[in-house]
Structure 1
Amino acid sequence: MIQAASGFAALSIPITDAPSYAPSVICDKISGLAISNAILAGLFDRQRTGEGQEIEVPMFETAIEFNLMETFAGAAFEPPLGKPGYARIQVRERKPFRTADGFACIMPYSDKNWQDFFAFIGRHDLIGDARFLLLSERSSWFPFLYGLIAEAAPLHTTDEWVAFCDEANIPCMPVIDLADIGDDPHVKAVGLFETVEHPYAGKYHSIRRPASYSAAPFELRYHAPMLGQHSREVLLEAGLTESEISDALCESDPKVPDTQTL
């Protein structure tokens, strides 16, 4: 609902001629980040002033702000100088490209990047072409340029593209499935995942927080609670008496569900 209402779904119209949803609960997660930032700012203000305050973070408005960060463009002026949008991104040809054995994001960016790319794919006729020498000129030719990448990408394997791009300092990355992300060398090197054991559900993969602190290393202190596991504590904190809670709860301990339903 929020993706539709905030303009998020409509961002794909210039690309696919139809609105679409991001394949993620992205508005929920954006709002969570906004909430945590707002709370931290509120705590900082309380530390300085000694006074607290009520904080409201609406998902709808948060998603609109998030979308307009880079797409407000000419519509930010009054009267408008243009429609909202980001031409370099809202191009149907801008996407992961199919290589000879998979997919890769191949993204020449700088003036030199494009000249090196033209040489690699054998389009020497485009080297030095005034249309592509500078970003100010290239910005009108993104569909054509990304189309060149799409044509050339299947002629080489993903590893060959990565090798060339690394040497030429061109941004490039293989498209990695989430199911394989744990095998990524960098992910392994930084210890992003660990296998832990839940007292009821058994072993599972835990992902540490990406942020790190020199004086407070990440530590998993609690597992996800089972349904009703903390009902008694929550109700006591809400002011109910032990007898009232016992009357309200059928059992003092939560039932452990079958792991297949977790």
Structure 2
Amino acid sequence: MGALSHIRVLDLTRVLAGPWCAQTLADFGADVIKVERPEVGDDTRHWGPPYLKTPAGTDTHEAAYYLAANRNKRSLTIDIATPEGQRIVRELAAHSDVVLENYKVGQLKKYGLDYESLKAVKPDLIYCSVTGFGQTGPYAQRAGYDFIVQGIGGFMSITGERDALPGGGPQKAGVAIADLMTGMYSTVAVLTALAHRDRTGEGQYIDMALLDVQVAMLANMNSNFLASGTPPTRWGNAHPNIVPYQTFQTSDSWIIVAVGNDGQFRKFVEAGGRAELADDDRFATNPDRVRNRDVLVPLLAEMVRTRDKHDWIASLEAAGVPCGPINNLEEVFENEQVIARGLQVDLPHPSGGTVKLVRNPVKMSATPPQALTHPPTLGEHTDEILRDVLGYDDGQIAALRGQSVI
């Protein structure tokens, strides 16, 4: 029984932003009904390899991408292009607290599944639309892709190596951050709307846009520009105001060194056998080091390259110099802190094996999120939902299946 176990969410989303929101709500106990196209399902089911494997080592054709964003849900297949399918969705909306959708602007209106249509059957409904650019403005009809939004929204202008250096130029993030953050903001919006409904009885419409979120999440970079009028530039893994505060290549890998004051700088170069650098007038203080970074950083890079990652981490931690490795994901899941925090969870899967996932990172004393059920197979709960939520009998369900509605 999670904190949201009294809430039912009708999830008409696919790919990542919407499903991430729905999964977060499901982790806290909401009954999430994931509506998918018959025979095809969520696009991400096919975004592989890699796929989940059976105990015998064969592919299940459940792509790892899909598995990442769909645990704790129930899957129902409906062809919403049919009148019968549309009727079922309206019936489910009448039994739900929240509807999530990420169709193109106006697309659901022709099916009678837009906010105004569903509000007529459920006046206190919370209806959240997720699109690339929102319901208004000159870009509203454009398809929204995370990669494109990272560019339009300014993220890539401040991410990547400096243009003047080898490999310089704009760089996207390694994960779809606009999608993920939109999923998180959408979760906050839905919970806020539910709190308002519980006090007033009033539902509402939520208009979420990837571009809005991408711009908003630039945080202090936005403020830097708005205060100065000068757009921030890319600094790669370096810092514009602190030196050394960057990555360095060791003899076998990479590390991060984050020197925050002059004392830490002295300890760093002492650990590397180059104590004289701390006494050099060009490098004695942080302003000096910033002014002379082009001279200092190559000297530090040469120093760090003489020893391996583990040797450097041990030495710098012992000296009190902030540092850390740059782990690949194998190293992440072998990390003692990650293991101690229980970030990996293994759930039974209908294939007979288990699906390995990452738990919701929130820890709470009374109402923690839980990973209880595997990401559903396509249509796994169709009969169950129609029977238990809408009261359909076996004959009605068989008729719908015979008409290819479900």
- Normalising by the residue count of structure 2, what TM-score does the alignment of the two structures yield? 0.52
- The structure carrying a bigger strand percent of its residues is 2
Partner of 1:156 in structure 2?
A: 307
Aligned 1:234-253 pairs, distance under 5 A: 246-250=398-402
- Cα separation, partners in 2 of 1:102 and 1:17, compared to 1, 3 Å: closer
2:266 equivalent among 115, 135, 140: 115
Q: Choose 84-93 or 116-125, whichever is displaced more.
A: 84-93
> Which protein, 1 or 2, shows the higher relative CO under an 8 Å CA cutoff with sep ≥ 6?
2
Partner of 1:105 in structure 2?
A: 256
Gaps of 5+ in 1: 255-262
Partner of 1:14 in structure 2?
A: 162
Partner of 2:92 in structure 1?
A: none
Partner of 2:47 in structure 1?
A: none
Aligned 1:125-136 pairs, distance under 5 A: 125-129=276-280, 131-136=282-287
Partner of 1:37 in structure 2?
A: 188
The answer (yes or no) to whether the contact 1:118–1:124 under 8 Å persists in 2 is yes
1:179 equivalent among 330, 335, 352: 330
Partners of 1:135 and 1:46 in 2: how far apart? 53
- Cα separation, partners in 2 of 1:143 and 1:61, compared to 1, 3 Å: farther
Gaps of 5+ in 2: 1-147
Aligned 1:1-262 pairs, distance under 5 A: 1-11=148-158, 12=160, 14-15=162-163, 16-67=167-218, 69-72=219-222, 74-77=224-227, 80-85=228-233, 96-129=247-280, 131-200=282-351, 202-232=353-383, 246-250=398-402
User: Which secondary structure state, in structure 2, belongs to the residue aligned with residue 204 of structure 1?
Assistant: strand
The answer (yes or no) to whether the contact 1:71–1:85 under 8 Å persists in 2 is no
Question: How many angstroms does 1:58 deviate by?
Answer: 0.6
Partners of 1:51 and 1:27 in 2: how far apart? 30
Deviations 1:136-175 (A, max 9, x none): 5544444554434322222112121111211222221222
Question: How many angstroms does 1:133 deviate by?
Answer: 4.4
Partners of 1:134 and 1:45 in 2: how far apart? 53
Q: Choose 130-139 or 35-44, whichever is displaced more.
A: 130-139
CA RMSD of the aligned region, Å? 3.5
Partner of 1:259 in structure 2?
A: none
User: Which secondary structure state, in structure 2, belongs to the residue aligned with residue 127 of structure 1?
Assistant: helix
- Cα separation, partners in 2 of 1:82 and 1:221, compared to 1, 3 Å: same
Partners of 1:184 and 1:19 in 2: how far apart? 31
Deviations 1:111-155 (A, max 9, x none): 211121222334334324455444455444445544343222221
- Cα separation, partners in 2 of 1:236 and 1:31, compared to 1, 3 Å: farther
The answer (yes or no) to whether the contact 1:27–1:59 under 8 Å persists in 2 is yes
Partners of 2:236 and 2:266 in 1: how far apart? 18
Deviations 1:95-120 (A, max 9, x none): 54321232222222222111212223
Partners of 1:141 and 1:52 in 2: how far apart? 59
- Cα separation, partners in 2 of 1:222 and 1:153, compared to 1, 3 Å: same
Partners of 2:213 and 2:270 in 1: how far apart? 44
- Normalising by the residue count of structure 1, what TM-score does the alignment of the two structures yield? 0.77
Aligned residues: 250
- Cα separation, partners in 2 of 1:169 and 1:49, compared to 1, 3 Å: farther
The code of the aligned residue for 2:327 comes to: I
Partner of 1:257 in structure 2?
A: none
The answer (yes or no) to whether the contact 2:250–2:306 under 8 Å persists in 1 is yes
